[in-house]
Amino acid sequence: MQLRANGLRGFILDDRHALLQQPLPDKSARFLSPAQQPGSQWSSLALARLLRHNRSVKFREHLVGHEDLSQLKIDRGAGSNMVSHRKRPGFLTAIVIIAASVLAGVLYFRNGNTVEVESATVTTAYPSQSFTLLNATGYVVAQRKAAVASKATGRVEWLGVTEGSQVKAGEVIARLENADVSATMEQASANIGVAAANLQQAQAELIEAQAAYNRNSELISRGFISPSAYDIAEARYQKAQAVVGSFKASVSAAQANYRAARIAVEHTLIRAPFDGVVLTKSANIGDVVTPFSSALDAKGAVVTMADMNTLEVEADVSESNLAKVELDQPCEIQLDALPDVRLRGRVQRIVPTVDRAKATVLVKIRFVDHDPRVLPEMSAKVAFLEKEMPDNQRAARTVVQPAAIVQRNGQSVVFVIREGKAVETSIETGERIGDVVEVVKGPKAGEKVILRPGDGLDNGDNIKTTAK
């Protein structure tokens, strides 16, 4: 505001700050509180009261030595300009608020329009699914498997294997206490030596008796000796022959006793019956092992082992589908423990009997492709194929349901669900695999796509999946 006085000393207040720096007029002091009398600083409350009193910015400064107020006048134009200047920021603020409200309304309407859709997951499939005649489930078993035990009863003294140990045929995997049978074997070995020495002595006597008999025979033919002397020499010779035969039999008996003692010692040594892997360990050092495990707290088998080269899958096939299975038929084996691996197999045996309780026939499938990760008792799925699959068709393919593919602007697209919105994605398809289509270029396996998207669905729309 601007206050002008003709012939008087006055001042100009351009803003509120300048007004606060001036002393209060005497005539305006009545609008102020005692704390805001002339000479003190202006407070916000005092300023508000003063402005309310001078609505048209009619503020007069006290005049020094002049009492005539008739010469004073107010410049209306300056006040009008100031008022318009104060109103302009409020007008701009109103425009900004209206624009923001319109934009917020548009965004709210856009985001609030949620489309309910059905979704499906992009997965992987194998071309062999198109040539599958029958699917069956079963378990991996070892054709050659044994629970290794001892024929002798004794306490385990040494154990040289653990679960997973690779063993060779004939390798000692455990030993029982065998001090007693080892002593018996040593005794039998000594008896062989005794019998052999006796035999040598008898053979020496036989040689001497034979020489005496030959001399007496010549002498009696010339009449130099009596017949009784000849008979004594002959009897001695025959006796020496009998003694040699007896000691030969003693040697044989001693040798047989040694073999029996050695076998008894061998029974305390537990050996691997074939090349394989130890699956389980049933006994530890100090446990008593007995052949039939009839004693209290006694163990039967020490370990259980299997030949991993003889693994096969035993699958139950319904008797109504038995006509679809034949010997040497190609198969594809999938293990639950290795879901991304497909192994080739062939039908090796069909057990010629039916399980009346389950109405199934047991079919055994051997592995053509061997994987060291395959273990006995793994759960397996077997696909009986119509024909052998070539190597270039054994790899997994990314597939999608055909209902997810639509045409937009002459191009095949799918709508991928990302962060609750529909994202239009171009797709290039390949051959058909069963009920799905191969994805050559487009969404990746694991992504979710919208099934049967309508014409009203656009890129970026909010979507909500519904339960099927």
Residue 416: CATH number of its domain: 2.40.420.20
Q: Does a structural domain hold residue 88?
A: no
CB-based contacts of 329, cutoff 8 Å, min separation 6: 346, 347, 384, 385
Residue 389 sits in a domain of what CATH number? 2.40.30.170
Instruction: Indicate if the pLDDT at residue 63 is higher than 70.
Output: no
Distance between CA atoms of 161 and 181, rounded to whole angstroms?
Answer: 24
Q: Does a structural domain hold residue 277?
A: no
Of residues 252, 247, 239, 243, the one with CA closest to residue 198: 247
Same domain, 311 and 384: yes
Q: Does a structural domain hold residue 301?
A: no
Question: Is pTM beyond 0.75 here?
Answer: no
Q: Residue 211 sits in which domain range?
A: 178-267
Per-residue pLDDT tens digits for 259-298:
999 999 999 999 999 999 999 998 899 988 887 655 555 6
Distance between CA atoms of 273 and 167, rounded to whole angstroms?
Answer: 9
Same domain, 28 and 40: yes
Q: Does a structural domain hold residue 299?
A: no
Same domain, 53 and 11: yes
Q: Does a structural domain hold residue 198?
A: yes
The number of domains in the chain is: 4
Instruction: Indicate if the pLDDT at residue 49 is higher than 90.
Output: no
Phi, psi at 302, each rounded to 5°: -85, -45
Same domain, 203 and 238: yes
Per-residue pLDDT, 58: 44
Of residues 126, 144, 120, the one with CA closest to residue 381: 126
Q: CA dihedral in degrees (178, 180, 186, 189; nearest 10)?
A: -100
Q: How confident is the model at residue 357 (pLDDT cuts 50, 70, 90)?
A: very high
Cβ pair 146, 305 in contact under 8 A = yes
Domain boundary among 348, 375, 393: 393
Greatest alpha-carbon pair distance for the chain in Å reads 207
- Average confidence (pLDDT) over 230-235: 91
